Structure 1
Amino acid sequence: MSAHNSWGNRLYRGEVSYDFIGKQKRWYGLSGALLLISIVSLLTLGLNFTLDFRGGSQFDIVAPNSSSETVSKIQDGVGAIVKDPTVQTSTDTAGKHIIVKTTPLSSDQLAQVRQVIATDSGAKDPNAVGVTLVSGSWGHEITQKAIEGLIIFVALVMLYLAVFYEWKMALSGIIALIHDLVITAGIYALIGFEVSPATVIGFLTILGYSLYDTVVVFDKVRENTKGLGSAKTDQSYTQAANLAVNQTLIRSLNTSLIALIPVASLLFAGTVVSGGAGVLQDLALALLVGIAVGTYSSIFIATPLLADLKEREPEMRTLKRKALGAQNKAAARAERSGVPTQDRLAPGFAGAGDGDDLEAAGAAEGSGREVPRGPRNQPVRGDRGRNRPSGKRR
């Protein structure tokens, strides 16, 4: 058996564990910083929509002998006619293409731009330059349909999670989905990736992928928390949920890595083989960013949020105090037997140090009040029961 499989089996059995939920403030801080950067990028830089959304004109010419100097020359020539044109190259079976995208143009501007592209590319004949006009109203319709599809998707997800799980799982899952969407869109705004209809398809795909990964973890959480409160378990909800994350960790990572292999192939084909500026590149970029963010949120955001919501319930707080009291007893016995301190820390409580929980745990040990402890966690005897050298009491 490989070391990887052995480690994964030990995680599943709970022999080794990482306290994902106990360190939730660290993950919340990281996600908060990413969300802030994403929102600022969206508000200041905005998304770079293609002509399919904003409307405009696209010119295409086959130029097998074109170079970077040719592209720069066309950029300058067209830029003298219309503001901020986009000049890109692409490759297909017909050869190497030069693609120029501009805002909507008048008839005279169309003719001037075609002439400049034909001259600077070496074709000389303006008729060799293909022109595609995209209506802004059509792009607006695409945007509206995409938003409608996103709203319907989120509503169905919330309904599914609320019916088959519970509303707190639904709320945690939706927050994780919004987290993934905002960060992905922020990365697009920050780097300047173009947003095309293929990108929108990629966004919807990654939301579905993120939901799938989150539901897998939630299903294991529900399984682990089914018997909480019985005499056979001394776990809190947080500990059971943290065990579920550890048990599904290898599956989540393997699924993400396997999914990224074809996505990386699409990105390679769209960027290197086709020369960029294609549907494959747009789709692969959205999937690549989204899968990575979705995997992160299912482990570090969705389940910690769920645990925080559940621990607010009175019965879960009581269960946590009872579990901590039982684990303190076990820790005291382990200390007397010489087990190192770090091996006695209860998963989910390591480093917590909540005063109210500790006090309630002492009260739950059976005496009805907190028992004073000595240096080795032993009860401190009062003066009344202290033994005298003579063996007699005064």
Structure 2
Amino acid sequence: MIAALRTLYRGENSWDFLRVSRKVLIGSAAAVLICVVALLARGLNLGIEFEGGSVWEVPVPASVDGTDVPASDLPTTEDIAEAADAAGVPDARVQFVTVTGASDIFRIRGVLGPGANAADIADALSSAVGVGVESLSTRQVSPSFGDEVAGKARRALVVFFVLIALYLWFRFEWKMSVGALVAVAHDILLTVGAYAVFGFEVTPATVVAFLTIMGYSLYDTIVVFDRVKSNERSLPARSHFTYPALANVSLNQVLTRSINTTVTSVLPVVSLLVVGAGILGAGTLAEFANALLIGLLVGSYSSLFVAMPMVAWLKSYEPQWASARTAAEAAGRHDTMESAAQALAAESYTRTAQPRPRKLGRRR
């Protein structure tokens, strides 16, 4: 076990990422398809900030006259929805929200029907729960606010993709730009699709998390691409090796860094969920951390199993790499990761072992 960890830490493991990526891509494609179907069929559970309307929060009584109220005597969400409908809020959405350190609440969202009175609705909801109307809180949100947030998010997304595509094209090459954008789009689709599948509420904090995910996914992908490019430059007779062999060596070398980056990124997010949302009851933190956690987990493997296989497939059509593959197939030779790694190590040793030129000078 210790030897395996030591090998992993040194980047000396020899996992065939590109071969495994075929199965991973099939699973990812199926997951993306499910997410797309869920988005088209169910849509997103948009928060009140996007749809507009009113929100009522009614505390759930823990006791009445000093006597604890059993759970069986509490009204259900269906009871609250029927009371809201009768008071003039048709199609109200009711949630039972657990708040640590405070009273649990019923959160009712909806739009006032024609002729509905806000005071009558407050009386009906407080009576249905069995609390005083003074303990009920309400707020109204205009749908224009949600339209503004969604519009800014769309513009930020377009600008992000354009700038990143240009940067990666200039920094590496267009094939790597395509691979990175495919990986980012994969991460966003799976994260947003998870919200559609499980019905999580989408709020402005969630949108911020979606945009944050793109930066993280791109960072990990650039680390992988930089290692591949560095190895490509270090390998003198690179036409002797196929591109998949070179890519696999590079992926094994950066695997430890990717794992460390994922762990150090996920742990703070988990602490936000456990401490912030679970213990302190900060719902806004949960809205942000849920999306961020899903995106981090998805982005941790997309750089290795989505972005790099896409680049390897595109690079295989370049003349030098295509001729290397043809020569290997004609000779019945399969370039392994070990052979490419040995060639890289030999080249590195040759460069470091070469004596530095001595400066000629007059002896004193």
Q: Aligning the two structures, in what range does the TM-score lie when normalised by the shorter sequence?
A: 0.7 to 0.9
Tell me if 1:307 matches 2:304: no
1:128 is displaced (CA, Å) by 3.5
Farther-moved stretch of structure 1 (61-70 vs 302-311)? 61-70
Q: Is the 8 A contact 1:56 1:105 kept in 2?
A: no
Q: Name the counterpart of 1:49.
A: 46
TM-score by length of 1: 0.76
- Alignment partner, residue 159 of structure 1: 166
Residue 35, structure 1, aligned to residue 36, structure 2: no
Q: Is the 8 A contact 1:59 1:100 kept in 2?
A: yes
**Match for 1:294 among 293, 299, 319?**
299
Question: Is the 1:238–1:348 Cα contact (8 Å) retained in structure 2?
Answer: no
For structure 1, which segment, 94-103 or 24-33, has the greater mean C-alpha deviation from structure 2 after superposition?
A: 94-103
**Equivalence for 1:133:** 140
Of the three residues 80, 87, 92, the one matched with 1:84 is 92
Contact 1:89–1:275, Cα closer than 8 Å, also in 2: no
CA contact (8 A) 1:62 1:98 kept: yes
Cα–Cα, structure 1 residues 225 and 326, in superposed 2: closer, same or farther, change >3 Å?
A: farther
Q: Identify the residue that residue 8 of structure 1 maps to in structure 2.
A: 8
Q: How far does residue 101 in structure 1 lie from its aligned partner after superposition? A: 1.5
Paired-residue identity, %? 36
SS at the partner of 1:108? coil
Structure 2 distance, partners of 1:79, 1:108, is 10
| Residue 253 (1) aligns with residue 259 (2) | yes
CA drift at 1:107: 6.2
Amino acid across the alignment from 2:177? A
Deviation track 1:36-92 (CA, whole Å, cap 9, x = no partner) reads 111111100111000000101011244452775245343442244421322332537
1:183 equivalenced with 2:183 (yes/no):
no
1:346 and 2:336 matched:
yes
Aligned-partner SS, 2:57: strand
RMSD: 2.7
1:94-129 CA distance string (max 9 Å, x none): 6544432213455634223201222233333x3432
Once residues 313 and 232 of structure 1 are traced to their aligned partners in structure 2, the CA distance between those partners, rounded to angstroms, is 13
Going from structure 1 to structure 2, the CA distance change for 1:83 and 1:119 (only over 3 Å counts) comes to same
CA contact (8 A) 1:58 1:133 kept: yes
- Report the equivalent of 1:221: 228
Equivalent residues of 1:267, 1:281 under 8 A apart: yes
Asked if the contact 2:183–2:307 (Cα under 8 Å) also holds between the matched residues in 1, the reply is yes
TM-score (norm 2): 0.81
Q: Is the 8 A contact 2:92 2:109 kept in 1?
A: no
Q: Partner letter of residue 300 of structure 1? A: F
Shift of 1:233: 7.8
User: 1:168-222 deviations in whole A, cap 9, x for unaligned?
Assistant: 1111000111111111111110111111101101111111111011111111111
Q: Which has the higher contact order (CA 8 A, sep 6+)?
A: 2
8 Å CA contact retained: 2:100, 2:278: no
The answer as to whether partners of 1:86 and 1:101 remain within 8 angstroms in 2 is yes
Corresponding residue to 1:58 among 52, 55, 59 = 55
**How far apart, CA to CA, are the structure 2 residues paired with 1:299 and 1:107?**
58
Distance 1:191 1:170 in 2: 32
Which amino acid is the alignment partner of residue 247 of structure 1? Q
Counterpart check, 1:241 vs 2:238 = no
Residue segments in structure 2 that go unaligned for 5+ positions in a row: 64-68, 340-364
Deviating more after overlay: 94-103 vs 166-175: 94-103
Question: Which has more helix, going by share of residues?
Answer: 2
Instruction: Work out the CA distance in 1 between the residues paired with 2:32 and 2:252.
Output: 26
Between the aligned partners of 1:316 and 1:46, the Cα distance in structure 2 is: 44
Partner SS for 2:259: helix
Per the alignment, in what secondary structure is the counterpart of residue 233 of structure 2?
A: coil
SS in 2 for 1:132: strand
**Amino acid of the residue matched to residue 203 of structure 1?**
F
Larger Rg: 1
Alpha-carbon shift at residue 269 of structure 1 (Å):
3.4
Sort the Cα spacing of 1:104 and 1:174 in 2 relative to 1 into closer, same or farther, 3 A: farther
User: 1:149 aligned to 156, 160, 168, which one?
Assistant: 156
Gaps of 5+ in 1: 332-344, 350-394
